Amino acid sequence: MLGLGAMLSPTLPFMMQQTNFTKKDFGPDFKWGTATAAYQIEGAYKEDGKGLNIWDTYSNKKGKIKDGTNGNIACNFYHSYKSDIALLKSMNFDVFRFSTSWSRILPNGIGSLNQKGIDFYHRVIDECLEQNLEPWITLYHWDLPQALQDKGGWANREIVDWFNEYTEVVCKAYGDKVKHWMILNEPAASTTLGHLAGIHAPAKIAPRKFLAAVHHTTMCQAEAARVVRANVSNATIGTTFSSSPVSPKNDKARHVKAAHRMDILLNRLFVEPALGMGYPTEGWNFISKIERYIKQGDEQKLAFDFDFIGLQNYTRNITKYSLIPFVWAFEVLPSKRGVPKEKTTDMGWEVYPEGIYEVLKRFSAYKNVPPIYVTENGCAFPDKVENGRVHDDRRVQFFKDYLAQVLRAKQEGMDIRGYYVWTLMDNFEWQEGYRPRFGLVHVNFETQERIVKDSGLWFRNFLDTD
Ligand code: IFM
């Protein structure tokens, strides 16, 4: 188990990084892709038999999403998947990472299947294969069927069976065509924001439910991976984790303690049980209460021999002590610590390229860690369309700087096998709505017109070196 000391270990100055790299420097087998999520792009929220999910319910409530929007139409990917996959191919990527919508496939979460939903992902997968792109499926990217939320959702232990049932259906449907599987997307974000901070669906501020949800999510992480192993021949199985370097505001004991807790929440809570290390509870009484939800025999089931882990990194976190009960840790926002505006993104996150190196180094240091893919990295900036072009120079620079750090980690011997951009196209950014634009492709949400941004053109050129 790594402690705060390791997390704070100094890194080489950024100036020493290689900046004139090419695709070849990453090696011939390194995979390049883009990542997406069903709810953020598909739309068609009530079409062809799809059931509602917690984000349909949440975003359609007044006042929940900052710009008053919802994901009902989103990027209309449900109808435009062919041309969107063609755009991805045109930028010379190898991999399309997408998630399946649980309630499109099983409208009530369990029980009867929606054949039209199953057919949709067959069309997406077939289109990828046709274009010589590898489809990578994420089974859960935050859109729990509403019918299951009505039964208690992630706080109900029965979810382990529900999720296994859904996983088996998806594996049986697509397992002969899809060989790369990710079980969960960023479980730390969905449990914390959904059950503790109350700003993501199902929007609970409920510490006990949070602890239950964490344990059930961790159980699902490993149990569903076993279901994939049993149902898909030659599967490569992983799951993804959000990750951010965390450091205390200063070395005062209360801030150091707060940073330790923030680190557990942001970085350790899901990977350590998956690696057979159990829950990281030391020094945090609240988290140690998770034991109440652990039944006999559970502990042995939390680990799985994943073929890879996905790491997702955007920024870093500077933490200070807070009086807020249960958490007692708060981020000192970049704007409050003098980070200049040019060094923050449209999400208010600090651009901190060294951070991706730091998390790669840290996760690589776990004993028995499998190979790592960067399954998300990207940035939102306020892009403008000018004469049919989007000159997103800051995003181009962001990718150059972060990729330099990924390469640095790889050259130091860390087993990093791929890099996937978040995200293919501008989309519904959860509680922020459509304002933050993360895409390589600009989307006009009135007309659904697409324009490949300069960053997409940069990748097209960078990846065109075979
Ligand atoms: O849009 C999200 C994605 O769904 C999960 N990872 C972070 C992205 C940017 O906030």
Given a contact cutoff of 8 angstroms between Cβ atoms, the answer to whether 171 and 213 are in contact is no
Quick one: which of 151, 149, 246, 248 has its CA closest to 190? 149
Asked whether residue 13 carries a pLDDT value surpassing 70, the answer given is no
Q: How far is the CA of 200 from the centre of ligand 1 (A)?
A: 12
Per DSSP bridges, beta strands 246-248 and 236-242 are unpaired
Residue 317 identity: N
pLDDT band of 17, cuts 50, 70, 90: low
Give the pLDDT score at 396: 98
Q: What is the pLDDT of residues 341-382, one digit of tens each?
A: 999 999 999 999 999 999 999 999 999 999 999 999 999 999
Q: Which residues sit with their C-beta closer than 6 Å to ligand 1?
A: 37, 40, 186, 312, 376, 422, 429
- The number of the ligand 1 atom at minimal distance from the alpha carbon of 37 is 4
Give the pLDDT score at 168: 99
Q: What is the pLDDT of residues 383-442, one digit of tens each?
A: 999 999 999 999 999 999 999 999 999 999 999 999 999 999 999 999 999 999 999 999
Q: Ligand 1 atom 4: the closest Cα is on which residue?
A: 37
pLDDT band of 18, cuts 50, 70, 90: low
Q: Ligand 1 atom 1: the closest Cα is on which residue?
A: 429
Q: What is the pLDDT of residues 291-335, one digit of tens each?
A: 999 999 999 999 999 999 999 999 999 999 998 877 789 999 999
Distance CA 394, CA 273 (A): 38
- The number of the ligand 1 atom at minimal distance from the alpha carbon of 438 is 9
Give the pLDDT score at 7: 28
Q: Ligand 1 atom 10: the closest Cα is on which residue?
A: 429
pLDDT band of 19, cuts 50, 70, 90: confident
Give the pLDDT score at 6: 28
End-to-end CA distance of the chain: 41
Q: What is the pLDDT of residues 233-286, one digit of tens each?
A: 999 999 999 999 999 999 999 999 999 999 999 999 999 999 999 999 999 999
Q: State the burial class of residue 273 (Cβ atoms within 10 Å of its Cβ: 0-12, 13-18, 19+).
A: buried
pLDDT band of 72, cuts 50, 70, 90: very high
Q: How far is the CA of 181 from the centre of ligand 1 (A)?
A: 18
Given a contact cutoff of 8 angstroms between Cβ atoms, the answer to whether 311 and 365 are in contact is no
Distance CA 28, CA 186 (A): 28
Q: Ligand 1 atom 2: the closest Cα is on which residue?
A: 429
Q: How far is the CA of 238 from the centre of ligand 1 (A)?
A: 18
What integer is the mean pLDDT of 129-148?
99
Q: Domain boundaries in the chain?
A: 4-462
Q: At what angle do helices 187-195 and 207-231 cross, to 10 degrees?
A: 150
Q: Ligand 1 atom 9: the closest Cα is on which residue?
A: 429
Q: How far is the CA of 254 from the centre of ligand 1 (A)?
A: 30
Quick one: which of 304, 418, 306, 308 has its CA closest to 371? 308
Mutate which of 40, 185, 186, 345 for ligand 1? The one with the most ligand atoms within 8 Å of its CB, which is: 186
Please give the distance of CA 424 from its chain centroid, rounded to a whole number.
14
CATH of domain 4-462: 3.20.20.80
Give the pLDDT score at 286: 95
Asked whether residue 130 carries a pLDDT value surpassing 80, the answer given is yes
Mutate which of 240, 402, 429 for ligand 1? The one with the most ligand atoms within 8 Å of its CB, which is: 429
Report percent pLDDT > 70 for the chain.
Answer: 96
In a 13 Å sphere around the CA of 10, the CA atoms on its Cβ side amount to 2
Mutate which of 241, 356, 422 for ligand 1? The one with the most ligand atoms within 8 Å of its CB, which is: 422
Cα–Cα separations (whole angstroms), residue 457 to 24, 120, 305:
18, 29, 38
The residues annotated as belonging to the active site are: 186, 376
Give the pLDDT score at 324: 82
Q: What is the pLDDT of residues 145-181, one digit of tens each?
A: 999 999 999 999 999 999 999 999 999 999 999 999 9
Distance CA 220, CA 164 (A): 7
Distance CA 192, CA 178 (A): 30
> Which helix (H) or strand (E) covers residue 57, if one does?
helix 54-59
Mean pLDDT over each residue of the chain, to the nearest integer: 95
- The number of the ligand 1 atom at minimal distance from the alpha carbon of 312 is 6
Q: At what angle do helices 159-174 and 207-231 cross, to 10 degrees?
A: 30
Q: Ligand 1 atom 8: the closest Cα is on which residue?
A: 422
Q: How far is the CA of 429 from the centre of ligand 1 (A)?
A: 7
Q: How far is the CA of 36 from the centre of ligand 1 (A)?
A: 9
